[in-house]
Amino acid sequence: MSKRRGLPTALILLTAVTLVSAALVRDGEGQALQGEYKVGVLEPLTGALAFEGKRHLEGMEIMRDMINERGGVMGKKLVFAVGDAVDPTAAASEANRLITREGVKIITGTFSSRLCGAASETAARHNVIYWETSCVDPRFNKRGLKNVFRTEIDATGFGWYNIEFIAKHLAPRFSLKPNELKIAFLSEDSSYGQGVTEAARDRARRDFGMQEVALEYYNFQTINDFTPIIAKLKQLNPDVVHHIAYSNDAPLFWRQSREQNFIFKALVHAGATGYGGADFGKATGADGNGPFALLEPGPGFRVEALRPEGQKIEREFRDAVQKKTGSYPLGGHQLAAGGLWVLKLVLDQAKTDELEKFRSAVMALDLPVGSVINGWGIKFSETGQNANERVQHYMLQWQNGQLVTVWPEEFSTLRAKWIPLGAWDQRK
Amino acid sequence: MGAVPQLVISTVLLGGIYALIAVGLTLIFGIMRVVNFAHGEFLMLGMYLAFWAFALWGLDPYVVLVGAVPIFFGVGLVTYALVMRGVVKASHNVQIFTTVGLSTALQNAALVVWTGDFRVVRPWHSGVVIRLGEAAFNLSQVVAFAVAVLFTAALVAFMKWTRAGRIMRATAQDVEAATLMGIDTDRVYRLAWAIGLVCVGIAGVLMSPLYSVYPTAGLQFVLLAYVVVVLGGLGDMMGALLGSLIVAAVEVIGSYLVGSAWKEVIYFVLFIAVLVFRPAGLFGQRGSETLGA
Amino acid sequence: MIRDGFLLDGLILILLWGAVSGAWNVAGGYAGQVSLGHSAFFGIGAYSAALLATRFHQSPWLGLLVGALLATVAGLVIGYLSTRLKGPYFGLATIAFSQVLLIVASRWRGFTSGSEGIPVPFRPGLWTLGFQSKVAWVYLILGLAVTVYLVARYLETSRPGYQLAGVREDEDAAEALGIPSRRLKVAAVAASAALTSVCGGLWAQYVGFVDPFYVFSVDLSVRFALNSIIGGIGTAIGPFVGSLLITSLETYLRATFSDFKAGLIGIYLIIYGGLLIVVVRFVPQGLVGWLGERLRAVGRYARA
On whether the CB atoms of residues A234 and A260 are closer than 8 A, the answer is: yes
Q: Between C87, C274, C281, which is nearest B92 by CB? A: C87
Compare all CA atoms of chain A with the CA of C4 and give the residue at the minimum distance. Answer: A26
Angle at A376 between CA A370 and CA A381, to 5 degrees: 125
Determine contact: B136 vs chain A, CB below 8 A. Answer: yes
CB–CB contact B17 A224 (8 Å): yes
Helix C267-282 with B92-114: angle, nearest 10 deg: 160
Beta bridge partners of B135: B132
Give the Cα separation of C245 and A73 in Å (integer): 41
Predicted confidence band of residue C269 (pLDDT cuts 50, 70, 90): confident
For residue A422, the SS3 value is coil
φ, ψ for residue A353, nearest 5 deg: -110, 15
Compare all CA atoms of chain A with the CA of C116 and give the residue at the minimum distance. Answer: A191
Determine contact: B104 vs chain A, CB below 8 A. Answer: no
CB–CB contact B35 C270 (8 Å): no
Interface of C with A in 248-287 (CB under 8 A): 251, 254-255, 257-260, 262-263, 265-266, 285
Give the Cα separation of B262 and C102 in Å (integer): 11
- Reduced 3-state DSSP string for A261-320: CCCCCEEEEECCCHHHCHHHHHHHHHHHCCCEEEECCCCCECHHHCCHHHHHHHHHHHHH
CB–CB contact C89 B292 (8 Å): yes
Compare all CA atoms of chain B with the CA of C34 and give the residue at the minimum distance. Answer: B93
User: Model confidence over A46-83: pLDDT tens digits?
Assistant: 877 888 888 899 999 999 999 999 888 988 999 999 99
The count of residues in chain C is 304
For B65, residues 6+ apart whose C-beta sits below 8 A from its C-beta are B147, B202, B205, B206
On whether the CB atoms of residues C37 and C225 are closer than 8 A, the answer is: no
Determine contact: B271 vs chain A, CB below 8 A. Answer: no
ipTM at complex level: 0.91
| Chain B residues inside the 8 Å CB shell of A279 | 117-118, 120, 212
Measure Cα distances from B169 to A65, A422, B33, C190, C200 in Å: 67, 57, 12, 39, 46
Compare all CA atoms of chain B with the CA of C234 and give the residue at the minimum distance. Answer: B93
* Nearest alpha-carbon partner for C201 in C53, C303, C93, C9: C53
Beta bridge partners of A212: A183
* Helix or strand run (H / E) with residue A43: strand A36-43
For A175, residues 6+ apart whose C-beta sits below 8 A from its C-beta are none
Predicted confidence band of residue C260 (pLDDT cuts 50, 70, 90): low
C177: in domain: yes
Interface of C with A in 53-112 (CB under 8 A): 103, 106-107, 109
Average pLDDT score, chain B? 88
What is the rounded radius of gyration, in angstroms, for the C-alpha atoms of chain B? 19
C224: in domain: no
Sign of the alpha-carbon torsion through B263, B264, B266, B271: positive
Residue-by-residue pLDDT tens, chain A, 428 positions: 444 444 445 555 555 555 544 434 333 344 444 589 999 999 998 877 888 888 899 999 999 999 999 888 988 999 999 998 989 999 999 999 999 999 999 999 888 888 999 999 899 989 999 999 999 899 898 888 999 999 999 999 999 999 999 999 999 999 999 999 999 999 999 889 999 999 999 999 999 999 999 999 998 888 889 999 999 999 999 999 999 999 889 999 999 999 999 999 999 999 988 999 888 998 888 889 999 999 999 889 999 999 999 999 999 999 999 999 888 888 889 999 999 999 999 999 999 989 999 999 999 999 999 999 999 999 999 999 999 889 999 999 999 989 999 999 999 999 999 989 988 988 87
Give the Cα separation of B189 and B167 in Å (integer): 11
CB–CB contact C87 B95 (8 Å): yes
| Chain B residues inside the 8 Å CB shell of C225 | 97, 100
Q: Between A7, A47, A124, which is nearest C153 by CB? A: A7
How many Å from the N-terminal Cα to the C-terminal Cα in chain B? 45
On whether the CB atoms of residues C284 and B94 are closer than 8 A, the answer is: yes
Interface of A with C in 219-258 (CB under 8 A): 219
φ, ψ for residue A267, nearest 5 deg: -125, 130
For B236, residues 6+ apart whose C-beta sits below 8 A from its C-beta are B26, B30, B281, B283, B284, B286, B287
Q: Between C107, C263, C276, which is nearest B97 by CB? A: C276
Give the Cα separation of B237 and B150 in Å (integer): 12
Mark A252-287 as b/e (b = at least 16 C-beta within 10 Å).
bbbbbbbbbebebbbbbbbbbbbbbbbbbbbbbeeb
CB–CB contact B94 C85 (8 Å): no
Q: Best of B118, B132, B226 to disrupt the A interface by mutation (most A CBs within 10 Å)?
A: B118
Host domain of residue C138: 5-217
What is the rounded radius of gyration, in angstroms, for the C-alpha atoms of chain A? 23
Compare all CA atoms of chain B with the CA of A230 and give the residue at the minimum distance. Answer: B256
Q: Between A10, A82, A99, which is nearest C236 by CB? A: A10
* Nearest alpha-carbon partner for A18 in C270, C91, C124, C3: C3
The predicted structure's pLDDT at residue A152? 93
| Chain B residues inside the 8 Å CB shell of A216 | 259-261
Average pLDDT score, chain C? 89
| Chain B residues inside the 8 Å CB shell of A222 | 219-220, 223-224, 264
| Chain C residues inside the 8 Å CB shell of A13 | 237
One-letter identity of residue C108: W
The count of residues in chain B is 293
Determine contact: C228 vs chain A, CB below 8 A. Answer: no
C192: in domain: yes
The predicted structure's pLDDT at residue A170? 95
Q: Is residue B156 left, alpha or beta, with left meaning phi > 0 and alpha meaning psi from -120 to 50? A: alpha
CB–CB contact B223 A222 (8 Å): yes
Q: Looking at the complex, report in whole angstroms how far the Cα of residue C131 sits from the nearest Cα belonging to chain A.
A: 9
Q: Best of C1, C2, C3 to disrupt the A interface by mutation (most A CBs within 10 Å)?
A: C3
C22: in domain: yes
Compare all CA atoms of chain A with the CA of C264 and give the residue at the minimum distance. Answer: A46
CB–CB contact C263 B292 (8 Å): no
φ, ψ for residue C66, nearest 5 deg: -60, -45
C243: in domain: no
Lowest-pLDDT range of B287-291, C180-184, C237-241:
B287-291
Determine contact: A52 vs chain B, CB below 8 A. Answer: no
Determine contact: C254 vs chain B, CB below 8 A. Answer: no
Average pLDDT of the residues in B145-153: 88
On whether the CB atoms of residues A193 and A221 are closer than 8 A, the answer is: no
Predicted confidence band of residue B293 (pLDDT cuts 50, 70, 90): very low
CB–CB contact B252 A218 (8 Å): no
For C237, residues 6+ apart whose C-beta sits below 8 A from its C-beta are A5, A10, A13, A14, C149, C231, C288
For residue A386, the SS3 value is strand
| Chain C residues inside the 8 Å CB shell of A3 | 235, 288-289, 292
* The pairing of beta strand A292-295 with beta strand A394-399: antiparallel
C143: in domain: yes
Q: Best of C254, C256, C293, C296 to disrupt the A interface by mutation (most A CBs within 10 Å)?
A: C254
CB–CB contact B220 A222 (8 Å): yes
Give the Cα separation of A254 and A292 in Å (integer): 12
Tell me which chains share at least 3 CB pairs under 8 Å with chain B.
A, C
Q: Looking at the complex, report in whole angstroms how far the Cα of residue C148 sits from the nearest Cα belonging to chain B.
A: 22
Q: Between B93, B261, B271, which is nearest C280 by CB? A: B93
User: Model confidence over B232-290: pLDDT tens digits?
Assistant: 887 788 888 899 999 999 889 988 988 887 888 888 888 888 888 887 777 765 544 44
- Reduced 3-state DSSP string for chain C: CCCCHHHHHHHHHHHHHHHHHHHHHHHHHHCCCCCCCCHHHHHHHHHHHHHHHHCCCCCHHHHHHHHHHHHHHHHHHHHHHHHHCCHHHHHHHHHHHHHHHHHHHHHCHHHHCHHHCEECCCCCECCCCECCCHHHHHHHHHHHHHHHHHHHHHHHHCHHHHHHHHHHHCHHHHHHCCCCHHHHHHHHHHHHHHHHHHHHHHHHHHHCEECHHHHCCHHHHHHHHHHHHHHCCCCCCHHHHHHHHHHHHHHHHHHHCCHHHHHHHHHHHHHHHHHHHHHHHHCCCHHHHHHHHHHHHHHHHHHC
Average pLDDT of the residues in C43-68: 93
Beta bridge partners of A404: A397
φ, ψ for residue A220, nearest 5 deg: -65, -20
The predicted structure's pLDDT at residue C262? 64
Q: Looking at the complex, report in whole angstroms how far the Cα of residue C129 sits from the nearest Cα belonging to chain B.
A: 34
On whether the CB atoms of residues A113 and A140 are closer than 8 A, the answer is: yes
* Count of structural domains, chain C: 1
C271: in domain: no
Give the Cα separation of A416 and A407 in Å (integer): 8
Q: Between B120, B137, B215, which is nearest A251 by CB? A: B120
Longest CA–CA span in chain C (Å) reads: 70
C29: in domain: yes
Sheet holding A240-244, edge to edge: A211-218, A182-188, A240-244, A266-270, A292-295, A394-399, A402-407
Beta bridge partners of A120: none
CB–CB contact A227 B17 (8 Å): no
